[in-house]
Amino acid sequence: MKKLFQPYQLNDIQLSNRFIMAPMTRSRSSEPGEVPNSLMAEYYGQRASAGLIISEAAQISLQGMGYARTPGIYTKEQTEGWKKVTDAVHEKGGRMFLQLWHVGRVSSSRINGLQPLAPSALIAGNTNVYIFDGASNGDAAFIPVEEPKAMTKAEIDQTIHDFATGAKNAIDAGFDGVEIHGANGYLIDQFLRGNSNIRTDEYGGNIENRIRFLIEVTEAVIKTVGKERTGVRLSPFIKFKDMDDPEILETTMLAAEKLNELGVAYIHLCEADWDDAPGIPYLFRKELRYKFKNTIIATGNKTPSEGEELLEQNLVDLIGFGRKFLTNPDYPERVLQNAVLNEISDPHTLFGGGDARGYTDYPFLF
């Protein structure tokens, strides 16, 4: 594992290793207001041995919220709450980016009191979000998404502004940078794909138009916090949330060319993470490396050995790990020692909960 444990220079940010703690929604923010809290600070601080932590997604507005108790980054109280988190990570020598999120059509008025917005008024089939219905066990209750309203130009402009404001708030909260969430069937991904975007204006139709929203969001964030502090997450091989588009690989490559021109810090590939998921074709990785010259992150249920091989082949630069960091706060050390890993103690604690159970109580190796 020589490559995984090498330091890495992400522009002017020195990472102690090439392990990335991938973003994972945990729904632990305080209500009302979806404010990050001391429990979240403890959770992230425990995992500061990752070369870089990418936070769970934080909605850039109330409109952008799609699941209960997910933290925001659009109010003063939320920004102050995130400061607790970044302080905890930095005190232990870690680095941390915040993921900026708008769910688009993946929402319900039962979450935020608002009709979802999307590129087009197309409901996502077989897609649910969750609320907490007051059951004694505190479990999340899944509900179907609602039909969205097609965004006006004014609503598109406002959302671009909200991404930039969220980025500014993130830097004010002490984050080392931000990641624009353009993956997993959420708003930006909905603009990218022809099956969820049937607009006939400058944001729809051909591939060049469908990447426009992503590029304008990225330009606005770069103008606010700088290209060296801006990453983008994409998921061309993930079709969940009714996102099967035959043109998405071509679209992704064009987007990568434009992001390369903008000089963003990295592209983060969110890859399928179920056990028998199809692998990412070698030729796709080679083409992406050719078109995008800065850092590439790959995340998707990889073993350390699989990550090491991708690093050795120079196909990617950093490797993201999700659930392994969830259950093993000292995951890099456990890999180094070839130690036994903690497993998920109780699936009911993955989303939501007001105490340490299944969140900050996973033991360290030493």
Q: Which residue bears the tokens 């302080």?
A: 87
Would the pTM count as exceeding 0.95? Answer: yes
Do the domain assignments include residue 76? yes
Is 361 a domain residue?
no
What is the rounded distance in angstroms from the CA atom of residue 90 to the CA atom of residue 217? 28
Query: What's the domain count of the chain?
Result: 1
pLDDT value of residue 133: 78
pLDDT recorded at residue 305: 97
User: Can you give the residue range of the structural domain that contains 310?
Assistant: 8-349
pLDDT of residue 134: 61
Which ranges in 193-322 belong to alpha helices (H)? 207-210, 212-225, 248-262, 282-291, 304-312
Pairing, β 13-15 against β 8-10: antiparallel
CA distance 44 to 325: 10
Bond into 32 cis (ω within 30): yes
Q: What was the pLDDT predicted at 277? A: 64
**Residue 226 belongs to some domain of the structure:** yes
Per-residue pLDDT reduced to its tens digit, 50-96: 999 999 999 999 999 999 999 999 999 999 999 999 999 999 999 99
Q: Is 366 within the bounds of a domain? A: no
Which pLDDT value is given to residue 353? 81
For residue 74, is it within any domain? Answer: yes
Phi/psi of residue 303, nearest 5 degrees: -80, 160
- pLDDT truncated to tens, each residue of the chain (366 aa)? 899 999 999 999 999 999 999 999 999 999 999 999 999 999 999 999 999 999 999 999 999 999 999 999 999 999 999 999 999 999 999 999 999 999 999 999 999 999 999 999 999 999 999 999 765 566 889 999 999 999 999 999 999 999 999 999 999 999 999 999 999 999 999 999 999 999 999 999 999 999 999 999 999 999 999 999 999 999 999 999 999 999 999 999 999 999 999 999 999 999 977 666 667 999 999 999 999 999 999 999 899 999 999 999 999 999 999 999 999 999 999 999 999 999 999 998 999 988 899 999 999 999
Domain annotation covers residue 210? yes
pLDDT of res. 96: 99
Compute the distance between CA of residue 110 and CA of residue 99 in angstroms, rounded to an integer: 24
Q: Interior CA angle at 343 toward 339 and 346, to 5°?
A: 160
In a domain, 12, yes or no: yes
Query: Which residue out of 186, 203, 266, 359 is catalytically annotated?
Result: 186
| Strand ranges, E, within the chain | 8-10, 13-15, 19-21, 52-59, 96-101, 117-118, 128-132, 140-144, 149-150, 177-181, 230-234, 266-270, 295-299, 318-321
Pick the closest to residue 55 from 15, 28, 18 (CA basis): 28
Query: Could you tell me the CATH number of the domain that includes residue 107?
Result: 3.20.20.70
**Amino acid found at 56:** E
Does residue 359 lie within any of the structural domains? no
186 included as an active-site residue: yes
pLDDT value for 137:
63
The two beta strands, 128-132 and 140-144, are antiparallel
